[in-house]
Amino acid sequence: MQQNKWILQDIDKDQIFSLQHQLNLPEVVLKVLVSRGYEKFDTIQNFIFPKKEDLLNPFLLEDIHKAVTRIKKAIESKEKILIYADRDVDGITSLSVLYNTIFTLGGDVVWYIPSDEGYGLSCTVLDKYKTEGVNLIITVDCGISAVTEIDYANDLGIEVIVTDHHEPPQDGLPKAYCIVDPKISSCIYPFKELAGCGVSFKVSQALMQTYGKYFNKEIAVLAVDKEEIFLITVVNDIVVKEESNLEKVDLNKYSKIITNNEEYFEKKEFTQYEVMEIDKNENIKETAYDLLKQYRKKIYETDGRMLEFFENNVDLVALGTIADIVPLINENRTLVQCGLSVLKKNYSKRLGLFYIFEEFLKNKNISAKSISWNVAPVLNAAGRMGKASVAANLLLADDKYNAGNFFVELKKLNVERKELQNENIKQFNILLKQQCDLENDNILVVSASNLSHGVTGIVASQMVKMYGKPVILFIEDTQKNEATGACRSIDGFDMVSALDKTKDLLIKFGGHNQAAGLTIEINKLDEFRKRIKQIAKDSISNEMVTKKINVDCELKITEVNRKTYNDLLLLEPFGASNTAPIFLLKNVSFEEVAVIGQTQEHLRLKICKDGINVPAVFWGAAKYVDEFGYKDKFDILFNMDLNRENVQLIILDVKIV
């Protein structure tokens, strides 16, 4: 078996005891959180119990004020607006959120998702929509790298608002009307890991707020006691001024005044300050900011228009965020948790999702895992087969008959996607052995022809898992003299940065540090392969290609039970940067080892220790069956799962003791 590196964190028992006393949370939950760096009362409290009122203010995003002001102007003047989306689940949910918002506000809005044109904006498509009267385009989940295409749009007289979450190009941003992307270096937005649908949601939220009573108006937050005054001036929920030790303030200029007598005043003449005794142990500035926090919470609880917006869109944001495998921490965790709550309450209100959930989830619980495994691949199938519009129409459908027709078409595309995926895996594996030196190449670059696009990224991901190295897969189009590639990487190797060093060879590229896409002329493939291999050789160490498994904590076999499993549900939703907990169990033996599965690739067995037996499965481990003799002792790493109503272990790795 491959020897992976297990990293087990040291956990202070006294610290766990102290936290358990403060928080009244299960010990196993606290051990997992502490092992992952959550060590303080507040950070743990916020992680376990995220609140929507703690979501960040959308107006902290650079250029968002400019963006929503322009969109509002277009809505009110009945300009035709085009939303231009990427074709994956993140793209279609980004599209759905923004389209629904603009349409609800009365905008003349249409949308487009590329099919044969490849990723991002296309000059041909720009020409088409210019002739149809479009003068404003909003990109969702794409556009940050479209320098040439946005220059072309400018020449056509089309203004482009970019909303994206991908890494900006290192040699300069496109000359768009404005750009909303938290990853822009000058953007002060505190959380950088929103999915594209998260950015689209923030833009839509800010757009809704432009129709509110206090948009662009000054609000005073006033903390007063008998000796001291502290005033915060807020515009669009952003603090623009702080003032203290004031003898007199003209409060009549403010549209709203919030004071520490817990009343909210509007259009009231102030001749003297309302006063009350403040605890002298409390800083008056802290009092003012606490008032602002209370006000924000009250707005979240009482503003029916914004509550309706949130409830009508957060389920889509959860879907896209899970599918795009962005870190499920901070805002993403809150959005996903809120969105899953909405879906659990009533997923049937969104007709397209109703059909998908009924067919592919059946009696399974709605969770980040079930959406990632059972729902997202089906929705992604449309884009992978060049017909993302089917999935978008399904999510946007407000008629049961139309939703049913789109769902039937989506199911067919999903079957075709599976067939294509199996064929491409087979062919790329054959070519990989011919074109790559598996022992010496630090990056695997494979080029194929006569294969269909759509699933290249999936195949690349599987190869990364299989070989533990970054992978770039190309499919050549000899008629265009172009090859289109999908890249997947390993921790520590920034794929976008590596591609940037070869940009003189590329037609275009873009993406994240772990997943990217690119297009290149076929006659430049050999030079690209040579240079990217050298970059990988200089950048990737043996340590980087050794698979590391972070272990949350050790368990006793007596702790492997339904109670522990239920306690761990407090940590959901699980996903990127908040994976299902990994536990260590020492000195166990294996019994009743059996090969299972249609392809006979997996093992079912029992884990035994101290007279206790626990059922387990070990996916893809049938090849090791002869190594698991009944008399040997093993240390195992595992997740805990349910098989019907019984706890079982999902074995991740094994070492012979």
Q: Which CATH number belongs to the domain containing residue 79 in this structure?
A: 3.90.1640.30
In a domain, 375, yes or no: yes
- Can you tell me the distance from the alpha carbon of 93 to that of 315, in angstroms, rounded to the nearest whole number? 9
In a domain, 39, yes or no: no
User: Token match 């969104």: residue?
Assistant: 350
The answer to which of 140-149, 231-240, 281-290, 374-383 has the lowest mean pLDDT is 281-290
Q: Assess contact for 141 and 94: CB atoms under 8 A.
A: yes
pLDDT bin (cut points 50, 70, 90) of residue 281 is very low
Amino acid at 354: F
SS3 label, residue 222: strand
pLDDT, tens digit (0-9, with 9 covering 90-100), for 35-63: 999 999 999 999 999 998 889 999 999 99
Q: Assess contact for 328 and 321: CB atoms under 8 A.
A: yes
SS3 label, residue 224: strand
Q: Is the peptide bond before 573 cis (omega within 30 degrees of 0)?
A: yes
Evaluate if residue 277 carries a pLDDT over 50.
no
197 and 65, same structural domain?
Answer: yes
Compute φ and ψ for 624, nearest 5 degrees: -100, 10
403: enclosing H helix or E strand: helix 400-435
140 and 63, same structural domain?
Answer: yes
- Beta strands 583-596 and 515-521 are unpaired
Among 209, 242, 269, identify where a domain stops. 209
Tokens of 83: 């939303």
In a domain, 49, yes or no: no
Residue span of the structural domain in which 481 resides:
436-545
What b/e readout covers 52-69, taking b as 16+ CB neighbours within 10 angstroms?
beebbbbbbbbbbbebbb
The average pLDDT across 152-165 equals 97
177 and 122, same structural domain?
Answer: yes
For residue 611, the domain's CATH number is 2.40.50.140
Compute φ and ψ for 647, nearest 5 degrees: -70, 135
pLDDT bin (cut points 50, 70, 90) of residue 83 is very high
**Positions of E strands within 478-528:** 482-488, 506-511, 515-521
Average pLDDT, rounded, for the chain? 91
In a domain, 34, yes or no: no
Domain count, the chain: 5
Tokens of 257: 């005044």
User: Token match 């997923």: residue?
Assistant: 347
In a domain, 628, yes or no: yes
In a domain, 640, yes or no: yes
196 and 68, same structural domain?
Answer: yes
Evaluate if residue 272 carries a pLDDT over 50.
no
Among 496, 523, 545, identify where a domain stops. 545
540 and 597, same structural domain?
Answer: no
Q: 379: closest CA among 405, 357, 402?
A: 357
235 and 196, same structural domain?
Answer: no
528 and 556, same structural domain?
Answer: no
The average pLDDT across 605-632 equals 88
Distances from the Cα of 81 to the Cα of 132, 176, 180, 212, 365, angstroms: 11, 15, 17, 22, 39
- Beta strands 264-265 and 256-259 are antiparallel
For residue 503, the domain's CATH number is 3.10.310.30
- Can you tell me the distance from the alpha carbon of 653 to that of 376, in angstroms, rounded to the nearest whole number? 27
611 and 584, same structural domain?
Answer: yes
Q: What is the per-residue pLDDT for 244?
A: 83
pLDDT, tens digit (0-9, with 9 covering 90-100), for 104-131: 999 999 999 987 666 778 999 999 999 9
554 and 529, same structural domain?
Answer: no
The average pLDDT across 591-620 equals 92
Q: What is the per-residue pLDDT for 343?
A: 94
In a domain, 505, yes or no: yes
201 and 65, same structural domain?
Answer: yes
574 and 531, same structural domain?
Answer: no
Neighbouring residues of 385: CB distance < 8 A, sequence distance ≥ 6: 413, 416, 417, 420, 454
Pick 472 or 291 by higher pLDDT.
472
Q: Can you say how many angstroms the Cα of residue 77 is from the centroid of all Cα atoms in its chain? A: 34
Q: What is the per-residue pLDDT for 275?
A: 41
pLDDT, tens digit (0-9, with 9 covering 90-100), for 411-443: 999 999 999 999 999 999 999 999 999 889 999
Please spell the DSSP secondary structure of 337-352, one letter per residue. Answer: HHHHHHHHHHGGGSHH
Evaluate if residue 264 carries a pLDDT over 60.
no
528 and 617, same structural domain?
Answer: no
Among 417, 446, 477, identify where a domain stops. 417
In a domain, 36, yes or no: no
